[in-house]
Amino acid sequence: MNNYVYLFWGYNVFWALIALYVVFLATRLGRVGQRLDRLENSLSASDDD
Amino acid sequence: MGTIRSMSLWVVLGAAIALIFAAIYMTFLYAPTESMMGPVQKIFYFHVPSAMVAYLSVFVLLGSSMAYLWTRRRVFDYVAVAATELALLFCTVVLITGPIWAKPAWGVWWTWEARLTTTLVLWLILAACLMVRGYATERDAGARMAAVLGIVAALDVPINYLAVHWWRGQHPQVFGPGKKDPLAPEMMHAFLLCMVAILTLYLALLFLRSRLAAAEDRAQSLMDRMRDS
C-alpha cells in the first residue's frame, strides 16, 4: 500500500511541473502579444504623424 | 500575434493532449503491475521518456548553439533558448521522479552514484546556461556564452548514458546493448506510447517557446526603434 504513495507523488510531480511550465509559457505569450500590439500601434501612429 | 497562434501548433498540442490521455490509460489500466517492485515501477513510464526527451533537447541545444556560433542568426538562438529551458524542465522531472522511485526500491532518496551525479551535473550546466543569458548586460554576448555552455552540456550526455557501464552503478539499465526483450509486451506498448506522447508534448512546447523568444526579441527591437526615433 505504501508503494502507492510514492507512485501518487511521482506521477503528480510530473504533471504539476509540466502544467506549471505551460501556464508560465501561456502567461508570457499573452503578455508579449499585448506588448507587441501596443508597440506596433504606437509606432504606426508616430509614422502617420 | 497571428503567427504565434498558427494552426500547426494547435494540431501538435491537440495530438499531445490526446496521446497523453491514451498514455495514462495504458500506464494504469493496460500495463501489468511489476511483480517485484509493485505499483511504484509505473513511475518508469514517465521517468525514462522524460530522460530521453531531456537528452534529445540537449542535442537540439547542441545543434542550435553550433549553428548560432557559426552563422550568428538569431533564429538559432531562439531554438537554443527553448531547448535549454525544456532540457532543464525534463531534467528536473527526472531528478524528482527518480528519488521518489529510489526510496522504496533502494531505501534511500539519493546516492552519489555515477548516473545520478552526472544528471545533477547536467542540470547545473543547463541552469548556468539560463543564468548566463539572464545576467548578461549585452544580449548577443549572453547568447554567445550560453551557446558555448550548451555545447559543454552536450558533452555530459554520453558520459551520463555510459556512466552505468563505466562505473557499474546501482542505476538500472533497462535498454541498451545485450538487453533482449527487457519488458513484457504490454509494458513495452505502454512505454512506447508514453514515449510518443511526451515527445509530441516536447515538440509542441519547443515550437511554442521558440515563438515566444522570437516575439520577445521583436518587442525589444520595436522598443529600441521607439527610443531612437
- ipTM for this prediction: 0.86
Distance (Å, whole) CA B198 – CA B210: 18
Of B103, B212, B226, the CB nearest to A28: B212
φ, ψ at B184 (rounded to 5°): -65, 150
For residue B38, list its beta bridge partners: B34
Domain range for residue B50? 44-172+185-228
Q: How far are the Cα atoms of A30, A32, A33, A35, B195 from residue A40, in angstroms, in the given order?
A: 15, 12, 11, 9, 41
Which DSSP state fits B123?
H
Give the number of domains in chain B. 1
Residue B52 is assigned to a structural domain of this protein: yes
pLDDT digits (tens, 9 = 90+) for B125-155: 999 999 999 999 888 999 999 999 999 999 9
Of B20, B21, B31, the closest CA to residue B186 belongs to B31
pLDDT tens-digit readout, B18-73: 999 999 899 889 988 888 888 888 999 999 999 999 999 999 999 999 999 999 99
Task: Dig out the grid coordinates for B136 from the structure.
Answer: 548578461
- List the grid coordinates of B164: 552505468
In a domain, B6, yes or no: no
Question: Looking at residue B36, what DSSP letter applies?
Answer: T
Q: Would you call A33 an interface residue with chain B, using a CB distance cutoff of 8 Å? A: yes
Q: Which residues in chain A touch residue B201, judged by CB atoms under 8 angstroms apart?
A: 18
- Cβ–Cβ below 8 Å for A6 and B43: yes
Q: Give a yes or no: residue B216 inside a domain.
A: yes
By CB atoms closer than 10 A (0-12, 13-18, 19+), residue A13 is middle
Contact state of A46 with B229 under an 8 Å Cβ cutoff: yes
Sign of CA dihedral B170, B176, B178, B180: positive
Residue B224 inside a domain? The answer is yes
- How sure is the predictor about B177, in pLDDT bands with cuts at 50, 70 and 90? low
For residue B50 the three cell numbers come to 522524460
Is residue B98, in this structure, part of any structural domain at all? Answer: yes
B22 within some domain: no
Residue at B10 is within a domain? no
> What stretch of H or E contains B113?
none
CA-CA-CA-CA torsion sign (B40, B42, B48, B53): negative
**Rounded percentage of chain A residues whose pLDDT exceeds 90:** 18
Q: For residue B73, tell me if it sits in a domain.
A: yes
What one-character DSSP code corresponds to residue B34? Answer: B
